[in-house]
A and B are shown apart, each in its own frame.
Chain A
């Protein structure tokens, strides 16, 4: 793996260079329209002319939106009678080039790998993965709501990133994580990093590994029935208002629904985000709803992340970014839920 070093000024020049050939996105600092025509919600197009500034810890919007857009058009069609395409459903034209996402935190990069597990055979997710390059920045500082080290991640992690920037005294060292990352730096004349800095980073990573906790892994061996019937869900479900805020800001919530929309004869089949917090989510055509009560829906969200998903795929479906902890209107804190779950007899 190649490792380079660059200065902050060179970083901006690099973004300038990329933005000539590809759309480049960075976390939006100001208010960013969710449905703005050339942007993903919470991200803004950058051209490197202004210095890149990143918030501490994960940015408000996760990278989920690049892989799993809200909404994604699957097919388009027309209902006009004399149209040559009448009766045909076509896939919308997709842009061919890659998009570069700058300022991705290690937790978000891991979320893409986790979502990839259930989406292994999903052509839309895979196509988006192929055309998206993630440029990561390891976390020098974390927020009090960050808990990636409990979820198997690390603030210095490099998993899932195409290029990884880590702060040094006078700039960054840049690790190349993939062929996509390599292509992005191929034409740039970069100096190799100093051995001392590479080993210093490796040493810090070692320490992070030591500091991380695997306590939660014991949940994987627990009997599901006991966790399911635990008394902790009742008060939790009672205070939950069943909004979809946690699921929509969560980088690892990946549920969707599909619908046809027709406006004045023009139709499209879209896939849009759904939330297990919504009563419609599990409603059957018969009218029966297996998760008809609030407490059942709240329980489902946490058990899916902490039990069903790991039982099926291995890792937990949570990266510990802390977004839901910060934004839950009724302060349901997944860290407390995990503690309570571990305490279930």
Chain B
């Protein structure tokens, strides 16, 4: 269980597109740029592949932060996948803010294959933001809480 008092480290799920951001992460590694080890990378073909279901599912399963990263506009391997993604993420990001999910829990960025240093910086800044927010509690499914509920009833 996450606990802030015992040197809590956030878990951040990063959905990285295969062609840019994932390669960017690789470059960061090869170039020995340091970045926090809080991210868990899920490689996806394109940022356009990342559906809202995946993001919400990660939140529900207890991810403290989520990062979705793809190619810069204009650089998409599939020509336009990230343009469609940009519209969808803009709406999702606003909707999550609207229902009270802390800004910074779910982040989006563009990182290209040649931006190893930038990737490290993005992860750094996302991790710092999530650390400042503390462990996620909203929209995180907990089974124990329900258990007590049933016992009282």
Contact = CB atoms under 8 A, between A and B. Distances in A.
Are A and B in direct contact (Cβ within 8 Å)?
Answer: yes
Interface of A: 23, 35-40, 69, 72-73, 76, 92-95, 99, 261, 263-264, 266-268
A95 B151 CA distance: 6
B3 to A, nearest CB: 14
Interface of B: 61-62, 141-153
A99 B151 CA distance: 12
B62 A37 contact: no
B143 A268 contact: yes
A113 B30 CA distance: 71
Interface of B is mostly: helix
Contact of B143 (A38, A39, A72, A267): A267
A273 to B, nearest CB: 15
Given A261-B143, A263-B61, A266-B143, A39 B150 contact: no
B147 A39 contact: no
B132 to A, nearest CB: 23
17 contacts: A35-B146, A38-B149, A40-B153, A73-B146, A76-B143, A92-B147, A92-B150, A93-B151, A94-B151, A95-B152, A261-B143, A263-B61, A263-B62, A263-B141, A263-B143, A268-B143, A268-B147
Contacts of B142: 263
B30 to A, nearest CB: 33
A92 B151 contact: yes
B59 to A, nearest CB: 12
A45 B145 CA distance: 19
B141 to A, nearest CB: 5
Contacts of A266: 143-144
Contacts of A92: 147, 150-151
A37 B149 contact: yes
Contact of B150 (A36, A72, A99, A264): A72
Contacts of B62: 263-264
Contact of B152 (A35, A37, A73): A37
Nearest to A39: B153
A73 B152 CA distance: 13
A20 to B, nearest CB: 16
